[in-house]
Structure 1
Amino acid sequence: MVIDFTAFLDRLASASGETILPFFRTSLSVDNKNDGRDLDPVTEADRAAEAVMRRLIKANFPQHGIVGEEFGDERPDAEYVWVLDPIDGTKSFISGLPIWGTLIALMHHGVPAFGMMHQPYIGERFSGDGGAASYSGPSGKRKLAVRRCAGLAEATIFTTSPRLMNGADRAQFEKVEAETRLSRYGGDCYAYCMLAAGHLDLVVETELKPYDIAALVPIITGAGGIVTTWEGAPAQHGGRIVAAGDPRVHEAALKLLQS
């Protein structure tokens, strides 16, 4: 029997979105997962959305594994593993900015097979399977495709914030940033989807967890882009990440990041 995983991703996205939206732009409480001074926020919306998705997965695919930001790992070595980030961009979420999203990935033998980013407030979904990627939202449905860019001098670069990087990584990022035409901060998962949609050229980040990036890999590659670690390794396990729409930009960025 052929299982339509894409339809189930839509179910997970709808269920999580319906759970999250009543909390958005309300006076919800925020907990700090970081014992230090830096804020690593989590809200009731994060926990409730992940719980809803976990229940659906267990009810429909009890043999599958689950890796989630809020409730840890269950059978992470299973053939199929769902990787969940209920709200990627919680800092934007608690600030009322609609540039957060729910990330849902399905891994098959450790490789991202399907990925979706759902922004329920705007009503947008970006999805991909590594071979193709698509968008659905207020403007309809269409295929996603990255744009061509000859080099860094013509590129628009995004990162969520250089302050999230350690000093050494920030210095390497700044080398790349200095060579680009336009640099912007913010965006979280939304920046990667804008890269897949052909609106920007490069995203450089550090300290990502698997649930921050796994869902975005098949979207970016399905749209014709490339995403790796700074060392050029597969990106789905997180770490220091560089994503580009054009391989020429990716190569140039890697050279500077590795220098």
Structure 2
Amino acid sequence: MPIRQSDIDLAHRLADAAGDAIRPYFRTPHGLEMKADSSPVTLADRAAESAMRRILDAERSGDGIVGEEFGVKDGVTGRQWVLDPIDGTHSFIAGRAIFGTLIALVEDGWPMLGVIDQPVQRERWIGAAGRPTTLNGAPVRTRACADLSGAALATTSPHLFADDDVQHYMALAAAVTRGRHGPLYGGDCYNYALLASGHLDLVCESGLKLHDFAALVPVVEGAGGRMCDWDGEPLTATSAGHVLAIGDPARTDDVLEALRSVPHPH
């Protein structure tokens, strides 16, 4: 089923509701707890996802939901709304406005609609299959990158990579590093938004879950970039979590070659 304007309108309302839930907790007491997997969660994470789920339960009861905080609700339409209320909880806790709310609509496993919303700076990127990506309603584009050497590479943190993946990331970092100009660290989903707007060239991460990457795919690809795994395959609900965002698709082979310069983990 093609993405309809009503889907986009609903995604905006979900982002509005999440932002309204998050902002009161930013740089204020937020009830930090550690989950079973040692990742942090706050009252803002839970309030934002609950607000989005209430809307979806009322308006799209047949659609499935995959949420970071409250798990999976099965649907009957082949569509799933994939929600990450705060992607970048560490940044949120630290008072850094580079976290974001991620909202995706996935159809039969394929990300078709994505929102990256920064509720403090009130920046919203939205991408949908067959439509140009916009930032606050204005179209954005990735930038050309003539040579991998000197490309602006970002990742949240190499400490988040599995041990076997670090050497592949470091090989890519070595291929892009020019002089003392190294990769940019921190940023979570905000890096992908900046790439879509033409400010970064590459983002490389591993260990991501569907709620971490589903929304990023339509945003980056609708701006002219490419999202794929470390083998160059499209990202779907069954992808293992090795994620690349490439602003200039012409550099794809160069990026994959750099990653493969050490044996690839499987």
TM (norm. structure 2) is 0.90
- 1:150 alignment partner in structure 2: 146
Q: How many residues align?
A: 251
Report the residue type matching 2:29 in the other structure.
S
Per-residue Cα deviation, 1:143-201 (whole angstroms, up to 9, x for no partner): 01000001211310000001111222111111110121441101100000000000010
- 2:95 alignment partner in structure 1: 96
Aligned ranges 1:1-259 → 2 under 5 Å = 4-35=6-37, 39-75=38-74, 78-131=77-130, 132-136=132-136, 141-180=137-176, 181=178, 182=181, 183-237=183-237, 238=239, 239-259=241-261
Report the residue type matching 1:127 in the other structure.
I
Tell whether the 8 Å contact from 2:162 to 2:207 is kept in structure 1 after alignment. no
- 2:264 alignment partner in structure 1: none
Q: SS of the counterpart of 2:187?
A: coil
TM (norm. structure 1) is 0.93
Q: SS of the counterpart of 1:52?
A: helix
- Aligned mates of 1:84, 1:9 — CA distance in 2: 11
Tell whether the 8 Å contact from 1:68 to 1:211 is kept in structure 2 after alignment. yes
Tell whether the 8 Å contact from 1:107 to 1:114 is kept in structure 2 after alignment. yes
Per-residue Cα deviation, 1:179-231 (whole angstroms, up to 9, x for no partner): 21441101100000000000010000000000001001000000000011112
Change (3 A) 1:33 1:77: farther
Tell whether the 8 Å contact from 1:130 to 1:220 is kept in structure 2 after alignment. no
Deviation at 1:234, TM superposition (A): 1.9
Change (3 A) 1:76 1:186: farther
- Aligned mates of 1:97, 1:189 — CA distance in 2: 13
Deviation at 1:34, TM superposition (A): 4.0
Report the residue type matching 1:41 in the other structure.
P
Unaligned runs of 5+ in 2: 262-266
The structure in which a higher percent of residues are strand is 1
Change (3 A) 1:121 1:43: same
- Following TM superposition, the consecutive aligned residue runs of length 4 or more in structure 1 with deviations greater than 3 angstroms are none
- Aligned mates of 1:172, 1:204 — CA distance in 2: 10
Q: SS of the counterpart of 2:72?
A: strand
Report the residue type matching 1:133 in the other structure.
T
- Aligned mates of 1:150, 1:191 — CA distance in 2: 20
Report the residue type matching 2:166 in the other structure.
R
Report the residue type matching 1:171 in the other structure.
Q
Tell whether the 8 Å contact from 1:67 to 1:76 is kept in structure 2 after alignment. no
Report the residue type matching 1:166 in the other structure.
A
- Percent identity of the aligned residues? 45
Tell whether the 8 Å contact from 1:202 to 1:249 is kept in structure 2 after alignment. no
Deviation at 1:258, TM superposition (A): 2.4
Unaligned runs of 5+ in 1: none
**Which moves more between the two structures, 244-253 or 49-58?**
244-253
- Aligned mates of 1:168, 1:80 — CA distance in 2: 34
- Aligned mates of 1:54, 1:111 — CA distance in 2: 21
Tell whether the 8 Å contact from 1:217 to 1:236 is kept in structure 2 after alignment. no
